[in-house]
Structure 1
Amino acid sequence: MPNTGLATLLIEIGTEELPPHHLSKLSGTFSKVLAQGLTDAGITYSKVEHFVTPRRISARLQDVPATQPQRLVQKRGPAIANAYDASGNPTPAALGFAKSCKVSIEQLKVLESPQGSWLVFEQQEGGMPLEHILPAIIEKAINEIPAKKRMRWGDNTLEFLRPIHWLTIVHGSNGLPIKVMGINATQHTHGHRVHAPQAILINNADEYLPILRDAKVIADFEERKQIIKNTIEFLGKNHGGNTVIEPELLDEVNGLVEWPVTLSAEFNKAFLEVPQEALISSMQNHQKCFAIKNPSGKLLNTFVLVSNTEAIPPDNIRIGNERVMQARLADAKFFYDQDRKHPLNSRLEGLKNMIFQKKLGTLYDKSQRISKLAGHIAKLIDASPRLCETAGKLCKADLLTEMVFEFPELQGIMGNYYARNDGEPIEVCTAIQESYLPRFAKDSLPESPTGICVALADRLDTLIGIFGIGQLPSGDKDPFGLRRQALAILRILIEKKLPLDLEELCQIARHGYGGLFDEEVVQQVLNFCFERFKAWYQEQGISPQTIEAVMANRLTEPYDCSQRILAISHFQTLPQAEHLASANKRVRNILQKSNILFNLQQLPPINQDLLAEPAEKDLFLAIEALKGQTAPLISEGQYQEALVELANLQQVVDNFFTQVMVMCEDDDLRNNRIRLLGHLSALFMQIADISKLAL
């Protein structure tokens, strides 16, 4: 007798080894599409779990009924007025609707509602067994698993990431006799390829994880990952150091094993003469192993590997990995030794054969532009133009070295080492490496003045050049990483507290291309950068109104803008803020309705003899006093302190609007009062347009 109650549904796809990257995403998509398919079919469930190993993708849904519930489906046809003619005979519209529903006109019903009456067709749908519904849902879920490439195998047309070897479907304690994409489902799974290769019966879907664990498979991705992380950290501490754990490598290694076995191994200490970044890259990229550093950050000649099998004795695995690691590190040492035979500046000519962008020239051209631009920036921040120009010329030279060709992620890092070997000034060597910082959103920034100048120059040159040829980012497409480049510029200027005008920097960068681009490109890059500025601050929880209040002044110094945003954020916490924002909005409306646009630097004078009411006299005196108090604060960039002072205007502003009629009939009085409000607005506009804060 079939199971009709609620039970756990397990679906597992057994495959050849899956690509190790983003495994969790694959199983997450699979379970999500399955769950949505069941929901669309009217089948309920209480919890969804997904599991993945190199050889399986699976989903488990709890409290799934064995039979689809029945439901009343209603299909609406023509309105009654259009369904029958004056004689009460059905119209072609009504007959056509009945035919489409495969029933006679007499079998249709009438739906009465406040909006009118319609012919409707009603029928009960559903009630199908789970095994009849699942094939289409599972097939859809398999097809929607993300994959850049799919493969075929055997003589069928089935396509998937890797060949599928088995399909397991269990509902409660029952196997469901389902065929999906030509594969018959069973109630059996398979354990570890080496330790438990035989088929294993799953008596109950709830026992899935412990059954696999007994078969040397940890199916839960996050559990497996945590086991690996804990054990490799433990081994690092055992050797008196800390294991270097890159999140991407941890995920990749987790995607390579079903039963993680961690071991430590060693390599010859002689290899420690090679820069440790190169050794670590070789360990991670080639061997998928984890390096260990001592507490001071120096690399040890010990590493950690993660095996997928338990070997007896385990020394066989350790010795094999040490032998291969020895060969890999020997390659790295060979590259390092060969590269040092040629100074970096001797490689500059070779950059003439490397295209940066076909319309923008070679990497040699780019390095020359970076050099000149870095020299200009150096003068603005009291750095050494000579050192910046040298670092700018050399910052791309290591792209022609053997080591960087083998490990592209070491560009800049190896340039630093090779420049030191050549006897270049230490500031130049450091700047070559720092010119690549930040490499990603939350990466560290360049610390040295020379590094800052070269890092800014490199990115400004790229932005101006790529925008100049019209290759703007669109949607998700950003092949030159311009969004990342813009954010890097903003972070450097703001976090390093550099009072530099971004428009001026863009103009200097544009001149580096000769007469290739006109002024328009500068405005495009500015707009692009400040859009990133807005997005960046919104991600930090700053309201759009606060950002718009600051940007209303069309400022072009990112650090100055950031200081104003912080000041406005603090101002909004003051009790007077809401009143003053509303008052400023009222002032802006009065000025706009009066078609008056004051030049805030050259405000028309106020005639004190025309100040008739006590409230407007008080406002005038308060404004004049605060002009003197806030001017030095604003000139020093102490915007928060200035706004705290301006908050004292709240009472006199409220009194003014309560007791004074601005738009009076007397032209002289009215114009003088509007001028007074212009001076009030200008006080705040020196910092931001706080009228934008009034909701």
Structure 2
Amino acid sequence: MPDLLIELFSEEIPARMQAQASRDLRRLVTDGLVEAGITYAHAGAFATPRRLTLALEGLLERSPDTREERKGPKVGAPDKAVEGFARGAGVAREDLEARDTGKGEVYFAVIERPGRPVAEIVAEVLESAIRTFPWPKSMRWGTGTLRWVRPLHRILCILTREDGHEVVDLSLDGIVASDVTEGHRFMAPGEIRVTGFEDYEAKLRRAKVLIDPEERAETIWNDATNLAFASGAEIVEDRALLSEVAGLVEWPVTLMGRIDEAYLDLPPEVLQTSMREHQKFFSVRDPKTGRITRFVTVANRETADDGATILSGNQRVLAARLADAAFFWQNDLAVARDGKMQPWIDNLATVTFHAKLGTEADRTARIAALARELASSVGADPDMAEQAAKLAKADLTSEMVYEFPELQGVMGQYYAREAGFPDEVATAVAEHYAPLGPSDIVPTAPVSVAVSLAEKIDKLTGFWAIDEKPTGSKDPYALRRAALGVIRLLLLNELRLRLFDDGIVSKTDFFHAESEVGLVGPKPEEYGPDLLAFIHDRLKVHLRDEGIRHDVIDACLAMPGNDDLTLLVKRVRALGQFLQTEDGTNLLQGFKRANNILTQAEGQDGVEYSFGADAKFAETDEERALFAALDAEGPKIEAAMRDEAFGTAMSSLAALRAPIDAFFDNVQVNADSQIVRRNRLNLLSRIRALCLDVADLARVEG
């Protein structure tokens, strides 16, 4: 069984595209081969700045022979119909077979297709993959019609067997497939002939090319960590940068340099951002002081002077970048000290947040008012919450954030402290964007929580009010992230807030009244149900990692107070744990059986069986035992639900499992006596009502 090696060798592929491109190459080729009848045992895809590589092991030598029988028109059908059928099946009319199907004779076409050699199929599949490759951006060059992310220079395509290798016959816009690749552009230029994947990987390694991006990333990280450790420092972890840098080099060489003393007093976030964004440098910090004092850069080659010239050039460029940052920092500090950030706050009136939602100044006013309203509910000082909200967006018009937008909030914290505002206010300015994702840190300081909640709720209600909601995978205003932020803030801080019923969202009504800029929109009650459903959908995704099923969540969403997310999740977790027990599973079946019998009887009789069950009409011990259990556990369940002690309520429900099972095993509900029948149906109604007080178990599957 042959192995297949493909390499598409080109000019530099942007680092951000390499991982997806290697996956796309594997998908296009393997799907094409399997569709043509060629299976394989294993596939590996790799990428470097200059090449995409795919290695497949254990391919079939040829596709299998196939035989297909296709049913056609009846014998005696018009000639045109018969000839059209034969032509579509690819057979001559005289080769059609007439068969008796029991309903008359019908023509059948027997289509036999012999298998084809694997090389022939590989050539077709690879050409199709190259011509239809889904690059985010591509280009043409020369006079050909081929499009690729950068000019494509070589196609290596070989099938390797025990007795040697075969070059696949393929020519594409003048590029003829071969068994030749090239080494490192500077350290080992020139052609390299290979016979298979192992030979390819080994020869490229000797030619200073590591084809596996994970190996390059691991090499960079290990070398950088060792360099930092040797100097008594530590690398600031940055996985995204590591992945990007691994896509910029074929032979990583790590070098560590110093940051000029003149810039060491810049905030560490400024140093790190400047080096990461402009230079692709890793930051190195002193573990004792937390200051960033050095950097690690990754070169794409070894040099005779061990990188001294490279480091010297990098340090000169870095010094120029940091000089700009220091200039912005000093200018911003002056505004913070002398103007208490007010010039920036005033400038927010010139920054549009959204054409239909006003400026950043308008938005800041809304957030400040809402943060003040929320303060008492989260244990924050209302004045501090309002003050922090008014400062939260101020740094958007600072020079540093204009240069580095990703430092929003972070710089505001420094400036707020420099202006003399309380630490709680400054911290809230830094944290009001958080959490930014499912793994981001959630604020817990009360002032920070108030401002962060207000910022996200204002965004959600605003965009719902103007009907700019996410559609499909599109979410240009990050509203899914905002909803998840609200969820995590409420749950982690165990906040008991009603989002809609006289709660948080209703307090955003100030936004929808006439304002100075003429912002008018619908009332919260008009868009509230749809927004709440959106938040509930985000909650389902959030709880999925806990192993909680969507139907369990749906059962709790049907209960009152479902806009109190903390209460809702408390109920969901208790129900989820209960249904994982044997008692829970059996009780669910008992409820469903009772509910089904009741629903059928109520539909048939045209009445609702919801009261009047009396133990004096019980005829069996099982009935009397069930009455006694309901009398004993019912008050406990009702009290537990009032106290929101959902675990206690579930325990009391579990105590009903045995008497309910015994009742259904030994008692016929539809008795001959109508009095007994109605009494038993009303008894089932008590079971249903008690269960539905805990959750809508009818929505739970199983």
The verdict on a shared fold, with TM-score over 0.5 as the criterion, is yes
Equivalent in 396, 402, 427 of residue 405 of structure 1: 402
Q: Could you say which residue in structure 1 is the equivalent of 2:284?
A: 292
Q: Any idea what SS the aligned residue of 1:376 has?
A: helix
Structure 1 residue 186 displacement after superposition:
2.7
Residues 630-655 of structure 1: CA distance to partner in whole angstroms, max 9, x if unpaired? 45543443211221133112223334
8 Å CA contact retained: 1:459, 1:485:
yes
Q: Could you say which residue in structure 2 is the equivalent of 1:74?
A: 68
Q: Could you say which residue in structure 2 is the equivalent of 1:453?
A: 450
Distance across 2 between alignment mates of 1:121 and 1:584: 57
Q: Could you say which residue in structure 1 is the equivalent of 2:553?
A: 547
Distance across 2 between alignment mates of 1:570 and 1:138: 52
Structure 1 residue 84 displacement after superposition:
3.1
Structure 1 residue 613 displacement after superposition:
5.6
Q: Could you say which residue in structure 2 is the equivalent of 1:600?
A: none
Q: Any idea what SS the aligned residue of 1:222 has?
A: helix
Structure 1 residue 307 displacement after superposition:
0.7
Q: Could you say which residue in structure 1 is the equivalent of 2:506?
A: 507
8 Å CA contact retained: 2:123, 2:168:
no
Equivalent in 618, 622, 629 of residue 622 of structure 1: 629
1:232 partner letter: A
The within-5 A match list for 1:584-663 is 584-593=591-600, 595=602, 615-658=622-665, 662=669
Equivalent in 30, 33, 39 of residue 38 of structure 1: 33
Equivalent in 535, 560, 582 of residue 575 of structure 1: 582
**Stretch moving more, 251-260 or 318-327:** 318-327
Structure 1 residue 419 displacement after superposition:
0.6
Residues 318-362 of structure 1: CA distance to partner in whole angstroms, max 9, x if unpaired? 222222222222222211111122132321221112111111111
Q: Could you say which residue in structure 2 is the equivalent of 1:196?
A: 188
Q: Any idea what SS the aligned residue of 1:310 has?
A: coil
Q: Could you say which residue in structure 1 is the equivalent of 2:607?
A: none
Equivalent in 458, 461, 464 of residue 461 of structure 2: 464
Q: Could you say which residue in structure 1 is the equivalent of 2:14?
A: 19
Q: Could you say which residue in structure 2 is the equivalent of 1:170?
A: 158
Q: Could you say which residue in structure 2 is the equivalent of 1:375?
A: 372
2:333 maps to 1:319: no
Q: Could you say which residue in structure 1 is the equivalent of 2:325?
A: 332
1:585 partner letter: K
**Stretch moving more, 204-213 or 232-241:** 232-241
Distance across 2 between alignment mates of 1:133 and 1:585: 56
Structure 1 residue 269 displacement after superposition:
3.3
Structure 1 residue 76 displacement after superposition:
2.2
8 Å CA contact retained: 1:75, 1:122:
yes
Sort the Cα spacing of 1:92 and 1:156 in 2 relative to 1 into closer, same or farther, 3 A.
closer
Structure 1 residue 607 displacement after superposition:
5.5
Q: Could you say which residue in structure 1 is the equivalent of 2:95?
A: 107
Distance across 1 between alignment mates of 2:688 and 2:593: 10
Equivalent in 540, 544, 560 of residue 534 of structure 1: 540
Distance across 2 between alignment mates of 1:71 and 1:509: 69
Structure 1 residue 44 displacement after superposition:
3.6
1:338 partner letter: N
**Stretch moving more, 360-369 or 625-634:** 625-634
Q: Could you say which residue in structure 2 is the equivalent of 1:684?
A: 691
Q: Could you say which residue in structure 1 is the equivalent of 2:48?
A: 53
Sort the Cα spacing of 1:128 and 1:582 in 2 relative to 1 into closer, same or farther, 3 A.
closer
Sort the Cα spacing of 1:114 and 1:179 in 2 relative to 1 into closer, same or farther, 3 A.
farther
8 Å CA contact retained: 1:249, 1:288:
yes
Q: Could you say which residue in structure 2 is the equivalent of 1:599?
A: none
Structure 1 residue 73 displacement after superposition:
4.7
**Stretch moving more, 545-554 or 350-359:** 545-554
Structure 1 residue 137 displacement after superposition:
1.8
Q: Could you say which residue in structure 1 is the equivalent of 2:141?
A: 153
Gaps of 5+ in 1: 1-5, 597-602
2:126 maps to 1:138: yes
Q: Any idea what SS the aligned residue of 1:375 has?
A: helix
**Stretch moving more, 143-152 or 274-283:** 143-152
**Stretch moving more, 293-302 or 315-324:** 293-302
Number of residue equivalences: 676
Sort the Cα spacing of 1:595 and 1:392 in 2 relative to 1 into closer, same or farther, 3 A.
farther
2:535 partner letter: C
Distance across 2 between alignment mates of 1:463 and 1:227: 44
Distance across 2 between alignment mates of 1:694 and 1:177: 56
2:487 maps to 1:495: no
Q: Could you say which residue in structure 2 is the equivalent of 1:427?
A: 424
2:109 partner letter: V
Residues 576-607 of structure 1: CA distance to partner in whole angstroms, max 9, x if unpaired? 222321222233334434559xxxxxx86766
Distance across 2 between alignment mates of 1:294 and 1:114: 89
Equivalent in 175, 178, 199 of residue 207 of structure 1: 199
1:653 partner letter: I
Equivalent in 566, 571, 589 of residue 559 of structure 1: 566
8 Å CA contact retained: 1:83, 1:91:
no
Distance across 2 between alignment mates of 1:103 and 1:647: 70
Distance across 2 between alignment mates of 1:111 and 1:38: 35
1:254 partner letter: A
Q: Any idea what SS the aligned residue of 1:414 has?
A: helix
Structure 1 residue 686 displacement after superposition:
3.2
Residues 497-517 of structure 1: CA distance to partner in whole angstroms, max 9, x if unpaired? 111112222222244322621
Q: Any idea what SS the aligned residue of 1:151 has?
A: coil
Sort the Cα spacing of 1:78 and 1:663 in 2 relative to 1 into closer, same or farther, 3 A.
closer
Distance across 2 between alignment mates of 1:361 and 1:379: 28
8 Å CA contact retained: 2:284, 2:292:
yes
**Stretch moving more, 603-612 or 202-211:** 603-612
1:47 partner letter: H
Residues 383-437 of structure 1: CA distance to partner in whole angstroms, max 9, x if unpaired? 2111111111111111111111111111111111111111111111111111111
Q: Could you say which residue in structure 2 is the equivalent of 1:259?
A: 251
Residues 666-685 of structure 1: CA distance to partner in whole angstroms, max 9, x if unpaired? 66665555554444334333
8 Å CA contact retained: 1:174, 1:204:
no
Distance across 2 between alignment mates of 1:480 and 1:165: 41
Q: Any idea what SS the aligned residue of 1:234 has?
A: helix
8 Å CA contact retained: 1:46, 1:61:
yes
Structure 1 residue 575 displacement after superposition:
3.0
Distance across 1 between alignment mates of 2:99 and 2:291: 79
Q: Any idea what SS the aligned residue of 1:93 has?
A: helix
2:43 partner letter: V
Distance across 1 between alignment mates of 2:686 and 2:89: 74
Sort the Cα spacing of 1:112 and 1:567 in 2 relative to 1 into closer, same or farther, 3 A.
farther
Distance across 2 between alignment mates of 1:665 and 1:72: 66
Distance across 1 between alignment mates of 2:90 and 2:590: 69
Structure 1 residue 209 displacement after superposition:
0.3
1:389 partner letter: E
**Stretch moving more, 347-356 or 607-616:** 607-616
Distance across 2 between alignment mates of 1:498 and 1:190: 61
Sort the Cα spacing of 1:74 and 1:371 in 2 relative to 1 into closer, same or farther, 3 A.
same
The within-5 A match list for 1:115-130 is 117-128=106-117, 130=119
Distance across 2 between alignment mates of 1:693 and 1:124: 51
Sort the Cα spacing of 1:631 and 1:287 in 2 relative to 1 into closer, same or farther, 3 A.
same
8 Å CA contact retained: 1:583, 1:691:
no
Residues 207-243 of structure 1: CA distance to partner in whole angstroms, max 9, x if unpaired? 1100101111011122222212222222232232331
The within-5 A match list for 1:80-95 is 82-84=74-76, 91-95=79-83
Q: Could you say which residue in structure 2 is the equivalent of 1:278?
A: 270
